[in-house]
Structure 1
Amino acid sequence: MRYSLRQLEVFLATARHENISRAARDLAMSQSAASGALKDLESQFEVRLFDRRGKRLRLSELGAQLRPRAENLLARAWELEQALSGREVAGRLRVGATLTIGNYLAVPMIADFRRHFPDADVALTVANTEAIAEGVAGFELDMGLVEGELNHPDLETRHWRADELQVFAAPGHPLAGREALTDADLVGLPWIVRESGSGTRQTFDRAMSGILTDLDIALELQHTEAIKRAVEAGLGVGCLSRISLVEAFARGSLVPLAVPGRDFRRQLNLILHRDKFHSSALVEWLQLCEQSWSDILPGVVNASRSHQ
């Protein structure tokens, strides 16, 4: 064999970081050793895997084509090593999740996974839908749990579970006791919402079709807790997943507002790279995702609906 797994590790780390120094640190190697491994790999086959632009190394067309195969080959080698050591489900699983899922759903799922597979480690990255999609597409994440809708040629989207956004306000808000809000009411309110690129904002914008440009968007914030605090302070009304509002509704620090004329339903989705090798850890995690709604989440969903 004219290449080594170590050379492939250097190639992939360099593809992730676009920098040989950061790739070397990631692999606990010296920069010279990492640079030599990459140079040897290219010279052995007389190819160029990266286009060098200053200090940045961008994948060449050939490098981009080879990256999924190298990722899968290393994943299979890792699987073989774990099987030889008697640990079928082990190693690190890199999961990405959008804010609502990451902050309110993923932690109990990770705890359950670790109880069943103590030799496995789940690294959780929480960001908005666009960032998680980029991570999965770039092989920086093994899979993603997202709230938004995607159309990416390299990604497979699987419907996971249903969710719904809820308009809410502080208990002392003038419309808090209103049986139902009209479009005229919605246009007259200052709104505190998630930023563009988030799945929650995507659903909100779609639900407000026809009046979106007339809404007063007072604040755009990247975190659900910041939005809840701002609404509690009386700065405006918000619209977030019901899952994220259960505790606040139970405390009475926030109250739901009924908007029957608007559709706030959405799908939570699983995203995977089409060329990603499914390790045993990833297979088990996907099975847990399918089970989690019935095993972990019904109490959350039912509790939120009881405050409608």
Structure 2
Amino acid sequence: MKYSFRQLEVFLATAHHENITRAAESLAMSQSAASGALKELEQQFGIRLFDRVGKRLQLNELGRLMRPRAQALLEQGRDLEGALARHADVGQLKVGATLSIGNYLAVGIMARFMREQPGAKVSLEVANTETIARKVANFELDLGLIEGEIQQPDLESLPWREDELRVFCAPEHPLASRKQLSDRDLLEATWILREPGSGTRQTFDRALHGLVPQLHVLLELQHTEAIKRAVETGLGIGCLSQVTLQDAIARGSLVALEVPHRDFQRRFDLILHRQKYRSAGIERWLALCQEV
């Protein structure tokens, strides 16, 4: 072969950092060694993979085309290397999850995964749907568990489980005694909501189409627990996944409000890059998710 895995590592690290010095540091290499490896890779094939603008190295069209193929090839090589060295079959797994999933579902799956695979190393990043999708597309995460819709052709969405948002308030709130809420009630209420870009907010906006521009939104917060606390203090009403509200409603610290004429149904999905190599760890994680 005219290329080495080390050259591919330098190429991918440079694509990620857009700087040869930071790429070299991430690979524990000297700058000159990393620069030489990248230069040699390009010279061997008579190509350019980056547009050089000052100190910044930005992927050109060919580089963007080669990146996912190089990533998949490198991961297959690492998987084979691990198997040949008789290390753990699973290795390291980088999982991303949206807040509702990460805080209430993913940790349980991760615990079961690690019990089954004692040598495995699993990292869990919790962020909103937009961030998780971007990092999976950029190969910064191996897979994602999301609660919103995505429009990225490079990503594959696998249906996981059904979910539903619930409108809720504090027990002392004037709406707590209502059997059902009308659109007028929704418009007159003060809202504490998730931020734009989150899957929860995406579903909420879709469910309340025609009303959203007129709603009185007092706060937009990134964390479900912060929203629940704000609602408990009487600042307004909220709307979150039923998964996040079960314990609080059972305790009586929050009250579920019925809005039967609005559709709050949604789905949780698993996402992967279409050219992502599915290692033994990824396949086992997917299987565990379907078993939950």
The TM-score with structure 2 as length reference comes to 0.96
The amino acid across from 1:239 in the alignment is: C
After superposition, give the CA deviation of every residue in 1:229-280 in whole Å (9 maximum; x if it has no partner).
1111211110000111122223322111111111111000111111111111
Q: Does 1:72 align with 2:75?
A: no
Partner of 1:127: 127
Matches for 1:249-260 after TM superposition, within 5 Å: 249-260=249-260
Distance in 2 separating the partners of 1:191 and 1:279: 44
Distance in 2 separating the partners of 1:219 and 1:68: 40
The amino acid across from 1:185 in the alignment is: D
Number of matched residues?
Answer: 292
The amino acid across from 1:236 in the alignment is: G
1:88 Cα deviation (Å)? 5.8
Moved more, 88-97 or 226-235: 88-97
1:55 Cα deviation (Å)? 2.9
Q: What runs of 5+ residues in structure 2 fail to find an aligned partner?
A: none
Does structure 1 conserve the Cα–Cα contact (< 8 Å) formed by 2:68 and 2:276?
A: yes
Distance in 2 separating the partners of 1:93 and 1:285: 9
Does structure 2 conserve the Cα–Cα contact (< 8 Å) formed by 1:137 and 1:154?
A: yes
Does structure 1 conserve the Cα–Cα contact (< 8 Å) formed by 2:90 and 2:279?
A: no
Does structure 2 conserve the Cα–Cα contact (< 8 Å) formed by 1:88 and 1:280?
A: no
1:8 Cα deviation (Å)? 0.6
The TM-score with structure 1 as length reference comes to 0.91
Q: Does 1:18 align with 2:12?
A: no
Partner of 1:58: 58
The amino acid across from 1:113 in the alignment is: F
Compute the RMSD of aligned alpha carbons. 1.3
The amino acid across from 1:269 in the alignment is: D
Partner of 1:89: 89
Distance in 2 separating the partners of 1:171 and 1:139: 45
The amino acid across from 1:90 in the alignment is: V
Moved more, 226-235 or 19-28: 19-28
Does structure 1 conserve the Cα–Cα contact (< 8 Å) formed by 2:88 and 2:119?
A: no
1:288 Cα deviation (Å)? 1.0
Matches for 1:16-55 after TM superposition, within 5 Å: 16-55=16-55
Q: What runs of 5+ residues in structure 1 fail to find an aligned partner?
A: 293-308
The amino acid across from 2:154 in the alignment is: D
Partner of 1:148: 148
Partner of 1:179: 179
Matches for 1:189-268 after TM superposition, within 5 Å: 189-268=189-268
After superposition, give the CA deviation of every residue in 1:161-212 in whole Å (9 maximum; x if it has no partner).
0000011111110111111111110100011111111100000001101222
Sequence identity (%): 63
